[in-house]
Structure 1
Amino acid sequence: MQTTDDVERGAWLTQRMEQGTGSVSETTGTGFDAYVRILHPVPSPDSRREPTHDGSWSTRRWADVATRNGRRMHRLVQWGRLLGLDDPDKDGTSDVGWLDPGLLAALAPILEEATTTPDDLFAGFWEGGNGQDLPRRRVLDGPWRSYVLARTDIDELTATRWAAAMDPDHIDGLGTISLELLWPEDHAWALGAEIDFDSTVIGGSRALIDAILADRRFEAYEVAEDDDLTWDSDTVNRPAPANLERN
């Protein structure tokens, strides 16, 4: 990826983001036909210490943790609530906002089919996090965060090597760099991965959202643009005793 100062190219999206709501539209903007929320796979406890025999890190599916803990899966489920927590910063939840480049690579071919400009994409990195060490002179100001922009394409996202190139300390499967925004030049869809949330949201056509929902590789739910994604929005699973799986 190459960073760019052409931040006006993102104004169409930030103008559609609703400030201070903690909603889907704050992350991805209003006005799309449909929205999907993709839950971020969470590293298993052992994977935080060493990789498996093939060099990869294992992850847990949310549904498996929910079953073990007697919790319920639903479209607004929150990772902390699956663990029975009443504080989003306790017991291993701090990295759940990270969009794994491997997950993005799996999404890339589906996103490619939903745009006429797969070779002309823009990625946004929060200037206070992943973007702070990237070269730039200007940033895209959103209602909540400001972003360093980079030019990219579907092929680069599919290969995943971009993460290591942008972050020398990146380790495949347990890296540190993660993009927070992504959209094509034709504005057919937008992807948002707010670091304080535990999922990635994509807004786009009905066909795109249906294709993602139908792919069993993803734990995904359709959501509405005004749905609350903050850590305590899960009113189905409430804080629980300390005997639940929390690592």
Structure 2
Amino acid sequence: MQFSHISAEQGQWIASACSSADPSTVVAQIPVGYERYVRILHPALDEDDQLVSWGTVAKSRNHIITAADLFETVAGLDAQGDPVEEDAWVDTDLPLDQLPEEQWQSLIHTLTADAEPTQKYIAGLWAGYAFIEGGDRIQIEQEPDPQLSDEENQTAYQTALAEAQKPAFGPEIVNAAPLELGGGYRNYHLFEADAEFLARPLWAQTVDGAQRQRPALAFSADKSWMLSTEPYDDCTILGGSAALIEAVLKNPDLEVIEVGQFTRIGHSNEGL
């Protein structure tokens, strides 16, 4: 597996294409012009931490999922996850903010299955992750060693904290201007990667363990497809050729619903 940092300029085509779009529409995330678009729905977790599909939730309430539905609409919840309908689904949290690892790997396999072995991909890592820059946002807990004095325990804690707060990336990445897609938090560090890394990203090994966050945006170097997962969103949006989207729709590991370029997510199904 390999990945290398690249300039944000290589993603400027996205910013240019999406800057004037209605922010609630599909093409505010994925540029206009792809043959077809889909939302890949993130599952929720039930009280036993088992994955729950939107379809399961919808069936429990006799709700028909539309292209523009938010999970809260399907489940009868408000944005905080509290019930607002008498038959609300209350046995689950709100959906995950990224696809589960196995679903992500299945998606990437579908997207890259017919590509040349030398095909490269661009992966965008959300710049808001604390591990990237380290610093005061990272705090640790450490039990005092009863065999050490208070002063020795404090010294050990400060040493461990300093290690935990080290940036995961060097200054050439930390200090580089990210790709900015508007909205303040929509900032991304871009990396060129192969298909293996894209499917199983490992950004860094830190005190908190392996950092395997799924890319918030990704596209093939030839721009034949692109996907986007906004921070804290309930789905991943994908644009691509008709054949590629058909393959994703048929992937049994994923829960997918087709949308139109101008579907206004969370508002109506107009534009499908």
Give the TM-score of the pair, scaled to structure 2.
0.69
Counterpart of 2:106?
Answer: 106
Give, as a single letter, the amino acid of the residue that structure 1 aligns with 2:218: L
Bigger mean CA deviation after superposition, 162-171 or 121-130: 162-171
5+ residue gaps, structure 1, are: 48-57, 236-247
Verify: 1:186 aligned to 2:219, yes or no: no
Q: In structure 2, which of residues 195, 205, 209 is the aligned counterpart of residue 154 of structure 1?
A: 195
The 2-side partners of 1:146 and 1:101 are apart by: 22
Over the aligned positions, Cα root-mean-square deviation in angstroms equals 2.7
The 1-side partners of 2:63 and 2:25 are apart by: 23
Paired residue secondary structure (2:124):
strand
Alpha-carbon shift at residue 68 of structure 1 (Å): 1.4
Over 3 Å counting, the alpha-carbon distance change for 1:167 and 1:42 in structure 2 is farther
Query: Conserved in 2, the CA contact under 8 Å of 1:164 and 1:170?
Result: no
5+ residue gaps, structure 2, are: 83-92, 134-167
> Within 5 A, what are the aligned runs for 1:92-241?
92-93=93-94, 96-113=96-113, 115-116=115-116, 119-129=119-129, 132-133=132-133, 135=169, 136=173, 137-144=176-183, 145-158=186-199, 160=200, 162-163=201-202, 165=204, 169=208, 177-229=213-265, 232-233=266-267
Alpha-carbon shift at residue 153 of structure 1 (Å): 1.8
Q: In the TM superposition, what whole-angstrom CA distance separates every residue of 1:191-220 from its partner, at most 9, and x where no partner exists?
A: 111124211111010100111112222111
Over 3 Å counting, the alpha-carbon distance change for 1:118 and 1:32 in structure 2 is farther
Q: Which runs of 4+ in 1 moved over 3 A?
A: 113-119, 129-134, 163-171
Please say which structure displays the higher CA radius of gyration: 2
Q: In the TM superposition, what whole-angstrom CA distance separates every residue of 1:118-159 from its partner, at most 9, and x where no partner exists?
A: 64111112223478545312211223322111222212233x
Give, as a single letter, the amino acid of the residue that structure 2 aligns with 1:233: H
Query: Conserved in 2, the CA contact under 8 Å of 1:118 and 1:184?
Result: no
Counterpart of 2:46?
Answer: 44
Verify: 1:81 aligned to 2:120, yes or no: no
Alpha-carbon shift at residue 3 of structure 1 (Å): 5.0
Over 3 Å counting, the alpha-carbon distance change for 1:118 and 1:218 in structure 2 is farther
Alpha-carbon shift at residue 90 of structure 1 (Å): 2.7
Alpha-carbon shift at residue 100 of structure 1 (Å): 2.6
Q: In the TM superposition, what whole-angstrom CA distance separates every residue of 1:13-41 from its partner, at most 9, and x where no partner exists?
A: 22212455221111112111111111012
Over 3 Å counting, the alpha-carbon distance change for 1:12 and 1:228 in structure 2 is same
